[in-house]
Amino acid sequence: MLELNKIYNLSWQEGLSQIDDNSIDLIIIDPPYLTTSEKWDKQEQVNEELSKQLFRVAKDNCSLYVWCGIGEKSQSLIRWFPIFNKDWFFKDLITWKKQRGIGMRKGWLYTREEIMWFVKDNHSFTWNIKLQYTDELRINLLNYAKAKSNYKRITNVWTDINESTLQGGAGNSECKLHFTPKPIKALERIIKLHTKENDLILDTFMGSGSTALVAKNLNRQFIGFENNEEYYKIACNRIDQHV
């Protein structure tokens, strides 16, 4: 087993081969979508072997979150769903509603990104039920006399997370640590709902290290792999500086 709380400059193939069976509590991955001009985004990384290896290292309580996209230029959701669905139990598709859009001049403005949620065992996955609520009160509490909370549930469309929660905030130079950063608040939400302190989180496409940083801030353990040496150094530096 690899040393915990470290990011390794390894491919997912090299890294996963060194992880014990049934040892990971939560997996979050953001593979290349094959949509940008970046060199690292040119080769498909998701295949049946990745799914099987992730399934092997996952505990029965483990959830798998896969960032992906759907649209004219980003069809990773279509490509990847049948691969993971062979091994994992599909639970839900989360849409992150962005504030700023991209897209062609002719067509709908593209303001979404997707996250597929799978579990290893549908009967034993971890879900911290007390953390599934927003800060927004229910409109009419009289209609929810039997509800477990006076607050609204978090839905599978996330409209409360904007780009200002990325690395350092939108427009900040820290945002340029990676070409496709993911919001800290989204990672915090996933990790809090599916783990407790000291649980072990795995990210096989660590990028600039956001998953590891959030895990560290929340007193979780982590293992990460990043095959790109430049991003590997950036990620390690962020973890060392705790920012």
| pLDDT for residue 52 | 98
| pLDDT for residue 190 | 98
Amino acid at 211: T
Average pLDDT over residues 34-51: 82
> What is the value of pTM for the model shown?
0.89
| pLDDT for residue 102 | 66
The tens digit of pLDDT for each residue in 125-164 reads 999 999 999 887 877 655 555 567 788 899 999 999 987 5
> 198 pLDDT exceeds 70?
yes
For the residues of 39-73, what is the DSSP string, one character each?
A: GGGSS----HHHHHHHHHHEEEEEEEEEEE--SSS
**6-241, CATH topology level:** Rossmann fold (3.40.50)
| pLDDT for residue 116 | 98
